[in-house]
């Protein structure tokens, strides 16, 4: 990698890491109504960094350089009398006494507090669910509009409109960057956890980006979850259960990605194919993350609550060992029975039938699958293919072909294609 490429990659990582911190601090200091101003200032700061560092090279302390420039740009904005008198001062007067110091505070504690408050702020019920995820990717994770558009399989214009409407709602409802009262925080926490869960799922299951992007999204979701545990009212069993679930899945991230066999696929990321679970190399699993997952799972059991995250984490923990035992699949089947009661969905029902197959055999599982009857779901046909694989290869092939025809993404078709041509 050339020096220029190294500097470009360093700037990309800095942008992703520091963008969210800088916007959160500016948002806390000057109010959510100035969120767009904060984004503009931080974006201008990184644009200046790209121009300056491309000529002079990286400064000794790039992060300090960014904070200093952002601070100068904010002060410049504050000195513009019209902006100060008509926008900033009314917002400040509404919820805090004026101080002599207008500079944003980029201390570690302030950054952590601001990001936590921003997380709860964007998860307000006045913002639509898809906009909450978009704001989280943009404001809390530092991803660009192009990347967010790719994650949602939509255009930049749609994402910009969605984020614009969300910011208008923040201003209209005069929401402040503060943690909600205790009673509201308990209710809001469920939505915060759900947004983090969806963020992680976008990274782990997404088929629209490179492994680097998807890994970054997973790590950002983990970071937000860990940040919640550092705030006592949010450090509850279901928070730890979600962290356990993400750790178990993230531990197998690298092993899920492999290289295409010659002529196996066309289009998209031809050298980045998902690897079937049974074909994954266990030596590529991250054992440190697995241990961390069990620690969070243990902490999640210290209370009377049982959430869907608890059950999904227990199931994911079993998948961190490839060895098949009667105990393993009997427990997984019981867990899916519980999950269906808490969070019924077609995919949960299909996964339960696969566990039933491992416990009671294909005939029993086929009877249960016939009762589901989901002909439009490609995963339903994948399941039927698996159930017929050892007893009726022709039926299995037909089922996999139906699944291939119904699959909507390149990665799903690639995985099904492996089942059709398992060499």
Q: What is the reported pLDDT for 170? A: 73
Does 277 reside within a domain?
no
Asked if residue 386 is part of any domain, the answer here is: no
Same domain, 111 and 93: no
Last residue of a domain, one of 101, 127, 152: 101
Please tell me whether residues 200 and 115 are part of one structural domain: yes
Q: Enter the DSSP assignment of 81.
A: H
pTM of the full structure: 0.73
Q: Which pLDDT value is given to residue 44?
A: 84
Tally Cβ neighbours within 10 Å of residue 86.
9
Residue 71, domain member (yes or no)? yes
Q: Say yes or no: 94 and 150 in one domain.
A: no
Tens of pLDDT, residue by residue over 91-126, are 655 544 444 445 556 676 777 777 788 888 777 777
Supply 277's token pair.
């679970």
Is 216 part of any domain? no
Does residue 155 sit in the same domain as residue 198?
Answer: yes
Six-digit token string for 148? 């967010």
| pLDDT over 50 at 263, yes or no | no
Assess whether 68 and 10 both reside in one domain.
yes
Tens digit of pLDDT for each residue in 180-192?
777 778 788 988 8
* Boundary (domain end) residue, out of 175, 207, 239: 207
Same domain for 131 and 97, yes or no, is no
- Higher-confidence residue of 292 and 68: namely 292
Task: State the total domains in the chain.
Answer: 2
Q: 101: which 2 tokens?
A: 């110091």
Same structural domain, 72 and 142? no
**Structural domain includes residue 31:** yes
Domain co-membership, 95 together with 111? no
Whether residue 115 is found in the same domain as residue 90:
no
Domain termination residue (choose one: 61, 86, 101):
101
Residue 128 inside a domain? The answer is yes
On whether the CB atoms of residues 311 and 340 are closer than 8 A, the answer is no
Q: Which residue bears the tokens 């916007």? A: 23
Nearest-5° angle of CA 91, CA 92, CA 95? Answer: 90
CB 355 within 8 A of CB 329: yes
Q: What span, in angstroms and rounded, lies between the C-alpha atoms of 226 and 235?
A: 9
Q: Which residues neighbour 323 within 8 Å (Cβ) at sequence distance 6 or greater?
A: none
> Over the stretch 41-57, which tens digit does the pLDDT of each residue have?
888 888 888 888 777 77
Instruction: Assess if residue 257 is contained within a domain.
Output: no
- 58 vs 52: CA distance, rounded Å: 9
Q: Which domain holds residue 137?
A: 107-207
Check whether residue 118 and residue 166 sit in a common domain: yes
Q: Are residues 76 and 151 in the same domain?
A: no
CA distance to 153, 217, 272, 400, per residue, from 146 (Å): 10, 14, 20, 34
Angle at 84 between CA 135 and CA 14, to 5 degrees: 40
Q: How many whole angstroms separate alpha carbon 122 and alpha carbon 139?
A: 9
Let me know if residue 79 belongs to a domain.
Answer: yes
């Amino acid at each position: 990698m050339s020096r220029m490429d190294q500097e470009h990659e360093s700037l990309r990582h800095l942008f992703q890491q520091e963008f969210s911190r800088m916007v959160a601090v500016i948002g806390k200091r000057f109010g959510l109504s100035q969120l767009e101003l904060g984004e503009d200032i931080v974006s201008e700061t990184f644009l200046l960094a790209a121009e300056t560092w491309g000529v002079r090279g990286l400064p000794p302390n790039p992060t300090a350089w960014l904070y200093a420039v952002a601070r100068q740009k904010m002060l410049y904005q504050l000195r513009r009398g019209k902006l100060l008198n008509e926008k900033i001062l009314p917002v400040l007067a509404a919820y805090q006494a004026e101080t002599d110091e207008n500079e944003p505070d980029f201390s570690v504690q302030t950054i952590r507090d601001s990001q936590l408050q921003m997380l709860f702020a964007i998860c307000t019920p006045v913002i639509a669910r898809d906009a909450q995820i978009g704001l989280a990717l943009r404001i809390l994770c530092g991803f660009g509009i192009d990347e967010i558009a790719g994650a949602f399989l939509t255009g930049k214009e749609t994402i910009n409109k969605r984020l614009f409407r969300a910011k208008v709602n923040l201003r209209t409802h005069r929401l402040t960057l503060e943690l909600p009262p205790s009673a509201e925080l308990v209710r809001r926490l469920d939505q915060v956890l759900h947004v983090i869960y969806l963020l992680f799922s976008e990274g782990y299951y997404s088929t629209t980006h490179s492994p680097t992007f998807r890994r970054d999204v997973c790590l950002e979701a983990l970071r937000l979850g860990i940040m919640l545990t550092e705030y006592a009212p949010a450090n509850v069993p279901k928070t730890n259960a979600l962290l356990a679930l993400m750790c178990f899945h993230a531990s197998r991230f690298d092993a899920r990605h492999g290289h295409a066999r010659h002529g196996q696929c066309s289009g998209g990321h031809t050298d980045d194919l998902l690897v079937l679970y049974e074909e994954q190399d266990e030596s590529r699993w991250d054992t440190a993350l697995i241990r961390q997952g069990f620690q969070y799972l243990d902490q999640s059991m210290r209370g009377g609550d049982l959430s869907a995250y608890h059950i999904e984490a227990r199931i994911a923990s079993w998948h961190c060992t490839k060895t098949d035992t009667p105990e393993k699949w009997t427990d997984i089947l019981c867990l899916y029975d519980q999950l269906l009661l808490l969070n019924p969905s077609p995919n949960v029902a299909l996964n339960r039938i696969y566990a039933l197959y491992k416990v009671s055999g294909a005939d029993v599982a086929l009877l249960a699958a016939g009762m589901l009857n989901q002909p439009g779901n490609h995963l339903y046909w994948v399941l039927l293919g698996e159930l017929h694989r050892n007893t009726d290869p022709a039926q299995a092939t037909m089922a996999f072909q139906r699944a291939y025809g119904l699959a909507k993404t390149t990665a799903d078709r690639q995985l099904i294609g492996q089942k059709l041509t398992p060499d």
